[in-house]
A and B are shown apart, each in its own frame.
Chain A
């Protein structure tokens, strides 16, 4: 019995949300999206929500795996099958010294990202929520009319991206890394207009044809949004990429 005590104490002392990054509140409101969601207008309502200040790190994801070992790469069931899932980590449970513990975790599939957020009583942000938060630069909540700033977004998802450095400034909302070296999953990645296989959807045939993704924009000047949109719509939930991570969001009460 004595031997069990330290174990039980460990359980008692680890709070459910140990090691999670902080959340930043975003006010929401009417937002002009660059994406055309079928027959909706270009002004959409963003409900107030909270978003993680930074993407989930390797260290945070390793902590999640200790509590939810079914998401380790050596235990992942085939239904979430995922070539390359956490393949860059040294072992199934830890990134190892060759990987920066504080860097965003990558090579995680949608299912694992979704499970991580749900375990924090959160969820993945929608693409619209990401676009709304990522419209801000360090000074302005909507910097999208600035052509130079928009052009710099061509580097999103690469090491040259404007928010790639760990000390890059937060945006006007206080969120960091939205235009960073890694892309991020959205909650609705598989259901974006033009995404994958639309057979059986009751939203008409218009968007299921080749090249339809190009039709899905209100504003083609928003390269960063388009690149990210094209990437996410090309992925299946089980896919992983070396520059694709995630962060979580919470609906405001």
Chain B
């Protein structure tokens, strides 16, 4: 009988997991955190996409093997951060999400973070392979894997409020931050 209960409990667990998004009920309808996707951070820890809820953040998608646009995306996000007051900086997270799960292992992501001397607190996340498109779609990042292993992709910083609503976008064309994007970042951080 004990064994049977263990079995039944194991069967019930998925049901409990399904019930858990009760919290998701109060997520605003237009939140990108409605996407269910699994990611891993650069320490190899699992990070559900929806767990990013709770703090304003700048998100971008990139891949570590990219040597032209991706370093510019990182430099651009660093430049945005540099223009903030220490108080603002403490409130805003920066998250880089990989478009290339096959190659962007936690080690590769750590190496890129180190190489670009990104400030402490940035998160580098690699989604499960089949979950990349869903995150990209909701952020309106378009990409295509090319035969030579490079990826054509939208280079954009997306500003999300704590609830995951898209507040602003900045198409990255160079290392210098886009002034109107910066204004929107500061405006969001000034909100209570």
Chain A residues near B (Cβ < 8 Å) = 5, 8-9, 11-12, 37-38, 40, 44-45, 67, 70, 77-81, 110-111, 114-115, 117-118, 121-124, 187-188, 190-193, 195-196, 198-203, 237, 251
Closest to B14 in A: A11
Determine if B180 is an interface residue (Cβ-Cβ < 8 Å). no
Interface code B118-159, partner A: CB below 8 Å = 1, 0 otherwise? Answer: 000000000001110110011000111011000011111000
The interface-forming segment of B23-31, B39-47, B79-87, B182-190 is: B23-31
A37 to chain B, nearest CB (A): 7
Contact in complex: B142, A201 (CB < 8 Å): yes
Q: Which one of A11, A196, A202 lies within 8 Å of B153 (CB-CB)?
A: A202
Listed by A's residue number, 23 A-B pairs whose Cβ atoms lie within 8 Å are A8-B8, A8-B15, A9-B11, A11-B12, A38-B146, A40-B146, A44-B147, A79-B30, A79-B34, A79-B35, A111-B35, A111-B138, A114-B134, A114-B137, A115-B134, A118-B131, A118-B134, A122-B130, A124-B133, A191-B143, A193-B144, A200-B155, A203-B152
Task: Bits for B63-91, please: 1 = Cβ < 8 Å to A, else 0.
Answer: 00000110000000000000000000000
- With an 8 Å Cβ cutoff, the count of chain B residues facing the other chain is 40
Which residue of B12, B24, B31, B137 contacts A111 across the interface (Cβ within 8 Å)?
A: B137
What are the residues of chain B within 8 A of A117 when measuring CB–CB? 130
Is B111 interfacial (CB-CB < 8 Å)?
Answer: no
A191 close to B30 (CB less than 8 A): no
Question: Which A residues lie within 8 Å of B21 (CB)?
Answer: 70
**Interface flag for B32 (CB, 8 Å):** yes
Whether the Cβ atoms of A114 and B133 lie closer than 8 Å is yes
A118 to chain B, nearest CB (A): 5
* Complexed CA–CA distance, A122 and B131 (Å): 10
Inside 8 A of B138's CB, which chain A residues have their CB? 79, 111
Say which residue of B11, B18, B32, B143 sits within 8 Å of A8 (CB atoms).
B11
- B12 near A8: Cβ-Cβ < 8 Å: yes
Q: Is B107 an interface residue (CB 8 A)?
A: no
- Contact with A79, one of B32, B133, B147, B154 (Cβ below 8 angstroms): B32
Closest-by-CB residue of A relative to B70 is A202
Chain B residue at minimal CB-CB distance from A119? B36
A124 to B134, alpha carbons, bound, how many Å?
11
Which 9 pairs between the two chains have the least Cβ-Cβ distance?
A78-B29, A200-B171, A12-B11, A191-B142, A77-B29, A203-B152, A123-B130, A11-B11, A78-B30
Q: Is B1 an interface residue (CB 8 A)?
A: no
Cβ A202 vs Cβ B30 within 8 A: no
Which of A38, A77, A122, A202 interacts with B34 by CB under 8 Å? A77
Q: Chain B: residues with CB nearer than 8 A to chain A?
A: 7-8, 11-12, 14-15, 18, 21, 24, 27-32, 34-36, 68-69, 129-131, 133-134, 137-138, 142-144, 146-147, 152-156, 171-173
Instruction: Name which residue of chain A comes closest to B128, CB basis.
Output: A118
CB within 8 A of A195: which of B11, B134, B142? B142
Interface residue from A79, A124, A188 paired with B144 (Cβ < 8 Å): A188
A110, B133: Cα distance in complex, Å: 10
Residue of B27, B143, B154 contacting most chain A CB atoms (<10 Å): B154
Q: Could you tell me the distance in whole angstroms from the C-beta of B65 to the nearest C-beta in chain A?
A: 14
Contact A80 B34, beta carbon cutoff 8 Å: yes
* A77 lies within 8 A of B27 (CB): yes
- Asked if B137 and A202 make an inter-chain contact with CB atoms under 8 angstroms apart, the answer reads no
Chain A contacts for B69, CB-based, 8 A: 202
Contacts of A200 in B (CB 8 A): 154-156, 171-173
B29 CB contacts on chain A under 8 angstroms: 77-79, 81
Q: Which residues of B contact A251 (CB under 8 A)?
A: 129
Whether B152 lies near A77 (C-beta < 8 A) is: no
